[in-house]
Amino acid sequence: MVKLTQDQFDLYTYKNTGKSVSVRSFTWTNQSHVSVQVITYGATITSMKVPDKNGAIKDVVGGGSTIAEYQKAEVYFGATVGRVANRIGNGQFRLFDQIVNVSKNLGKHQLHGGFVGFDKVIWEYYVSGNKVIMSYHSADGEEGYPGDVVVHATFELTENNEFLVEYKATTTKPTFVNLTNHSYFNLAGHDAGASELYKHVVCINADQITEVDNDSIPTGKLLPVANTVFDLQVPKVLGDVITKVPNSDGFDHNFCINKGPEQGTTFIARVYHPESGRMLEVYSNQPGVQFYTSNFFPENPKTYKGDKTKLATLSGKGASYYKHGALCLETQNWPDAPNHDNFPKSILVPGETYHHNVAYKFSVKN
């Protein structure tokens, strides 16, 4: 039997009015001692606690203990990201015969929905059995996007140790929608750092990636992964390949899943940490997954050989987070899809429903 409890996580204060509202938390626990918590700020996964092969339970996702920690971090810990996840090149796209300009929060580009994306707002909620449904109304013109968009995110933990997330969205005008969850995983424990992440064995069900330029904007070209560091169809130890990624400090690439959404939910990726025995499998109906290895996290002062007085800090849940300390598997449409006719369709029109599901399945391998 799965138990669901509700509590107050923290208070969120609106800067323009000074009014404070309660951020609610929802925590599921099953009989296998797997537990997951989600909060209404950003429809964010704040923790995933999973036993190892000896029964020791650890939280395997990075995050914060307070709203202030999430606001300071600015790395999308566990959040629902939108209206369009990933990058929009030059902050614009063509929508039929119109050029639409959206906000530019990454130089001349947009990243993860703009300055105030879905990750930085309070979502409404209601509970139905063991499901929590969170909703957000994204107004026409928000961050430059046309159309009033209503989004529903449904969360549920099962007795089979699967955490299920389902996104649905509708619009009043033609627009683009591409959502994702941005959880940072380290199966040795959220605070275990790069040394443990390098031991993870990673497999991704993709035989192509989208080529990107120096700003990580897709060029429109697809590159086969065969005979490259990106060939993760055969499982690889992360530490053996992460330093071999060309022109990058690690992985931050969209992998084109071998089966598209027309085949329904399919296997996306598998991550295994041999020492703990913890394994995570990801399934989704989305055509891509952004594999990211926290390349832009601050350097660890214990190993960094440069000017340590200039090192930034990134912290949460009583831990400090450093470069390569976690990995993300962001199921989504391909980045910058509105600007590439050969990418999967990302336009949403009135009368249609955007539908995205993802399952995170935990297990233990002895």
Residue 109 among the catalytic residues: no
Check the annotation: does 249 bind a ligand: no
- Beta strands at 131-138 and 149-157: parallel, antiparallel or unpaired: antiparallel
183 is in an annotated binding site: yes
* 252 marked as binding residue: yes
Please tell me the distance from the alpha carbon of residue 48 to that of residue 36, in angstroms, as a whole number: 4
Rounded to 10 degrees, what is the CA torsion of 294, 297, 299, 301? -110
Tell whether 315 is in a known binding site: no
From the list 330, 274, 333, the residue with the least C-alpha distance to 78 is: 330
Establish whether 198 is an annotated binding residue: no
Q: Are 215 and 224 in contact (CB under 8 A)?
A: no
Q: Say which of 143, 330, 340, 356 is annotated catalytic.
A: 330
CA dihedral of 318, 292, 185, 302, whole degrees rounded to 10: -40
Query: Cα separation of 44 and 78, whole Å?
Result: 5
- Catalytic choice (182, 190, 200, 273): 182
Catalytic residue check, 182:
yes
Could you give the CA distance from residue 80 to residue 45 in angstroms, rounded to a whole number? 8
CB-based burial of residue 130 (10 Å sphere; 0-12 exposed, 13-18 middle, 19+ buried)?
middle
Find tokens 């060309």 and name the residue: 246
Half-sphere exposure of 325 (CA within 13 A, CB side): 25
On whether 87 is known to bind a ligand per the annotation, the reply is yes
DSSP conformational letter for 127 = E
Catalytic residues: 182, 330
Q: Which residues are annotated as a binding site for beta-D-galactose?
A: 86-87, 182-184, 252
